[in-house]
Amino acid sequence: MFSKGIIRMAVGLMLVSLLTASMSRVDTQENIQDDVLRCGPQDVAVNGSFSDQKVLLTWEDEPLCSAMQDVLIYDIHILSTHDMKEVHTDEVVVRQDQTGSTHHWNWTSPLALECASYSLRIRCRYKNLTGRWSPSEAIPGVASSDKLQVFPKDRVVEVGSNFTFCCILGPGERFDQMSVTGYDKSDTIITKISAQVYTMTVHLHTPSPFSGNNVKCNNEYSAMVYVGYRPADHGLQCETDDLESVECRWTVGRDTHLYRKSQTVYEFLGRKYQILSVCIKSTRTCRLRQPFQVTVGERLWTLKAQNQLGMIELTEPADLTKRVHIQAPHHVKTSSVNARNASLEWQWTAPQYNNLSILCQIELSHNGVKDLKKVSGVGLNFAVLHSLIPNQMYTVQVQCGAKNAFWKWSNWSSITFQTMTDVPDPLDVWWMMEDNQTVITWKRPLSNHSHGQILDYEVTWGKTRNEAVSSTQHHVSLNLSTSEERVFSVTARNWNGSSSPSSVTVPRIHPAVNSSRITGNHGCFDLSWCPHPEAICGYVLDWRPAFDRGSLEWVKVPPGVTSARISSENFQDGRRYSLSIHACTQGAPVLLEKREGYVRETRIPVKQFKVLNKEPTGSDVRVSWAPIPARNQSAFIQGYILYYTNDARQKDPNNQVFNVSTGNPEASSLTAKNLQIGSYTFTVKALTSVGEGGDTTFTITINPSDKLYLVVTIAVVYVFLLIFLFILGYKYWTRIKEKVYPPIPKPVLPGDWLTLGDQSLPILSEKEEVVIPSLHRILIPVHTDTQPREGPFTMAPACPAYENHPEINDTATTLNACRSEVPPHPPRSLFVNPLYILPMPSEGESMQYQPLSELELESDLRLLSFQNAATPTVGSPPSERISRDYQPQPFSEPHVTSRDHHPEPILH
């Protein structure tokens, strides 16, 4: 029982404790909520800044806010007074450690505070609990105005911003328009706020001019706006020149365009500087210097640049002990000057330099030649200059820098001095042959070689011969024999003495070397040659005008070099030069090559041709000329061209200009052919690599007589040719006729119808038929006499050579009878045609013919030719001639048995 009672008591105590805890928790939550409702802002203050359109809000926390265990959040609302619409909302977070302090908040109004009235309220939030709004705080604007006004009056705005202006009208005024100079309507938006207030929002995309932009309402200038940029400087760099001050340089960025309203202000090491005092506008560089004791170690150097639109900070970490920019040496002077050396001295203005390791460089200038030397030392303040040129004016510049931690060279310090005089340097001597004279020449010594005024020169050759030359002359011509080699020496003398002799050896015989052409290159000659084994002291290149007595120039090339570019201030365009390449040997120089050319070819001047012949020949005109003298040629001639045109067609736009040309530079004539009658203008020109030149123009008239002469000449030639052909044809007419048109023999028909001599022609009846063989069956005449006969003519035998009667078989007897009856005289001085013996058939027979073979025909033709060549016997009586005329003979097959006669043809 006791134990159960204890248990019940314990359970009851637990229930009581839980109930008590629950009730205390409810009370705590109610207190916290009550505290939140009572926690909020107090001493709220609102201020408006009309200059920059900012609203400033300050407040403090209620004392109960300190009991809050977490952050507090304040809600801020800004309302427009005339329509109570929210214009802007924001919240401010207050941490627990900030509770009890004064809080600040600001807001920039998009509209000038004069243009509208605002009200502001604030409340507190804690977790999910929200406090009450504070009473509204009014931000009053300009309620009314007795005249037209634009707000804000003056404002600085960044390029690219949208800015709003308002126009407050006066009593009874009506709104017309608003504008900004430099902008058009497309850049602006007009809004009506009330009957008396209008706003204009403009996109300011262009920087303002020097005086800014005017804002107008109803065409009245009422406000100004300045549109520009915030600072954009860069490139900060700091250094020291005396270890007791710091100097910084930087570059100004783009132009802010805020010339009058908001200049940039710089701040360095706690001091402020205006941009006009530290910057150079033309170079856009800035520089400021401020005392500062430089110590070893790196430091962050900071520069601030600020205007109304913003601020930029430039920083650079640097140890200035390693950035010592030494000042230029002061009071530089020469302590001693000799002919070939001098001593310089200078001073330092910073005493710290006496313990600083210094490096200096010294630049010496004379006659455009510069030489740079370097010296160093601790606290260096002097230098000795060696290898100077006597009697020479020098300009010396000195600049220095820290040697161990070199940063920059100092500025230059300069001085001018002149060295003392000395004996001249050896001369540069050369030679040439001119008009069978030996010319020894030398270059005029410059001031850096003469070392004082030259008094005279002395030329020596042989053992005892010498010649003095005045100081104004730089060559000597000697009439000496060229049969031996000579050595010439030349010395120059001034007040200090004579120079060392310079020698040149003139060879005994100048070898003949053919010249080759060379083309200039940009006003110079580029030469190259093959190395010579004896050129132990190099080569000598000389040149002079090819046709004038110009001065000889030369240059000496060291051994091993086989090319050079030749240039001279005396070179002239269009002038031919002769160049020579010599090998420098132990003895006389050896001529290797000769060249001729122009540094730059030019067009040959006009009227350079001397025309020798220009007379027309018929319809052709041959123009010949004399060669242009080489001294008148300003370029190498590559050929010639002859232009010609008809003068009568000069005004005709279709009139053509004809030409003939040749690529032979040695040509001396050209011919224009097939010209019409009239006047022609001819122009002959020379062809060169730079175009045509040497134009020479003349006129030639081709008369009708020239054409008539040509026609007559051609006619006479044709007549003589025809006469020659006629004579030649007449002389050889017989042969030509036999070859071209041989005589055709007349056929002899059989029967008694044809009577020769005292024989009569037979009378044929109508029923009788005469059979004539076809033309291809030609019977070969029988040659009856092989012996030539006397007399001027040759006749065929009158006796029948062919018999048509086959009964007669004594061929030999027939032939002999024919041969004995040759008439003494022919009836006519004509060749007798060969006989055609036509075999006639006997009674009861028909005549048949067999064609001859080609061999038989050829043999028969030979016999026919031989018979035609036979001549009749002179003195035969007419009766015999008549009896020996052609007689028809019967067909037979004769056989020749006599050796004294030719065999008769066998007819098959």
Q: What are phi and psi of 209, to 5 degrees?
A: -70, -175
Decide if 868 contacts 783 (C-beta within 8 A).
Answer: no
pLDDT for position 749:
57
- Tens-place pLDDT, residues 75-94: 999 998 877 788 899 999 99
Q: Which residue would you say has higher pLDDT here, 467 or 841?
A: 467
Tell me the pLDDT tens digit for each residue of 265-315: 999 999 999 888 899 888 889 999 999 998 889 999 999 999 999 999 999
For the segment 103-158, what is each residue's pLDDT rounded down to a tens digit? 999 998 888 888 888 889 999 998 888 888 888 888 877 666 788 889 988 889 99
Q: Which amino acid is at 248?
A: C
Rounded average pLDDT over 154-171 = 91
CA 539 to chain centre: 36
Helix (H), strand (E), coil (C) string for 196-222:
CEEEEEEEECCCCCCCCEEEEECCEEE
Confidence band, pLDDT 50/70/90 cuts, at residue 879: very low
Residue 729, pLDDT score: 78
pLDDT at 722: 87
Confidence grade of residue 33 (pLDDT, cut at 50, 70, 90): low
Can you give the pLDDT at residue 568?
93
The mean per-residue pLDDT over the stretch 3-9 comes to: 60
Residue-level pLDDT at 482: 81
758's tokens? 């005292």
Model confidence over 524-568: pLDDT tens digits?
Answer: 999 999 999 999 999 999 999 998 877 899 999 999 999 999 999
| Residue among 789, 782, 863, 865 at smallest CA distance from 817 | 782
Q: Counting Cβ atoms within 10 Å, is residue 380 exposed (0-12), middle (13-18) or buried (19+)?
A: buried
Closest CA to 69 of 51, 95, 48, 46: 95
Residue 889 has pLDDT above 50, yes or no: no
pTM > 0.75: no
Q: What is the pLDDT of residue 838?
A: 44
Taking residues 656-662, report their average pLDDT: 90
Confidence band of 18 (pLDDT split at 50, 70, 90):
low
Record the tokens describing residue 194, joined without a space. 């009330």
The yes-or-no verdict on residue 908 having pLDDT over 70 is no
Is residue 300 within 8 Å of 317, Cβ to Cβ?
yes
- Number of alpha carbons in the 13 Å side-chain half-sphere of residue 16: 6
Show the tokens assigned to 547: 């046709």
CB atoms closer than 10 angstroms to residue 163: 20
Question: Residue 37 pLDDT > 50, yes or no?
Answer: yes
- 332-346, 561-575, 724-738: which has the minimum mean pLDDT? 724-738
- Structure tokens given for 361: 């460089």
Asked if the model's pLDDT at residue 760 lies above 70, the reply is: no
Listed residue (629, 625, 630) closest to 685, CA to CA: 625
Whole-number pLDDT of residue 711: 64
| Structure tokens given for 745 | 């023999």
Q: How confident is the model at residue 757 (pLDDT cuts 50, 70, 90)?
A: very low
Query: What are 289's two structure tokens?
Result: 């210097």
Q: How far apart are CA 359 and CA 402, in angstroms?
A: 6
Q: Note the pLDDT of residue 738.
A: 73
353 with 436: CB under 8 angstroms? no
For residue 34, name the pLDDT band (cuts at 50, 70, 90).
low
Separation CA 194–CA 69 (nearest Å): 48
CB 82 within 8 A of CB 19: no
- pLDDT of 25 higher than 90: no
Stronger pLDDT, 747 or 467, i.e. the higher one: 467
pLDDT of residue 139: 82
The candidate with the shortest Cα–Cα distance to 804, out of 754, 870, 765, is 754
Q: How many Å apart are CA 687 and CA 106, to the nearest integer?
A: 92
Strand order of the β-sheet with 330-337 is 330-337, 342-347, 382-385
Confidence tier at 441 by pLDDT (50, 70, 90): very high
Q: Identify the pLDDT of residue 888.
A: 45
pLDDT of the residue at 21: 52
Q: Is 314 exposed, middle or buried (0-12, 13-18, 19+ CB in 10 A)?
A: buried
Q: Residue 726 — φ and ψ, nearest 5°?
A: -65, -45
What pLDDT is recorded for position 86?
87
- CA 279, distance to chain mean position in Å, is 46
pLDDT (tens digit per residue) in 133-143? 888 888 877 66
Q: How confident is the model at residue 770 (pLDDT cuts 50, 70, 90)?
A: very low
829-850: pLDDT as tens digits: 334 444 444 444 444 444 444 4
The three-state DSSP-derived secondary structure of 508-562 is CCCCCCCEEEEECECCEEEEECCCCCCCCCCEEEEEEECCCCCCCEEEEECCCCC
Amino acid 98: pLDDT: 87
- Per-residue H/E/C for 822-888: CCCCCCCCCCCCCCCECCCCCCCCCCCCCCCCHHHHHHHHHHHHHHHHCCCCCCCCHHHHHHCCCCC
The most confident of 129-138, 709-718, 852-861, by mean pLDDT: 129-138
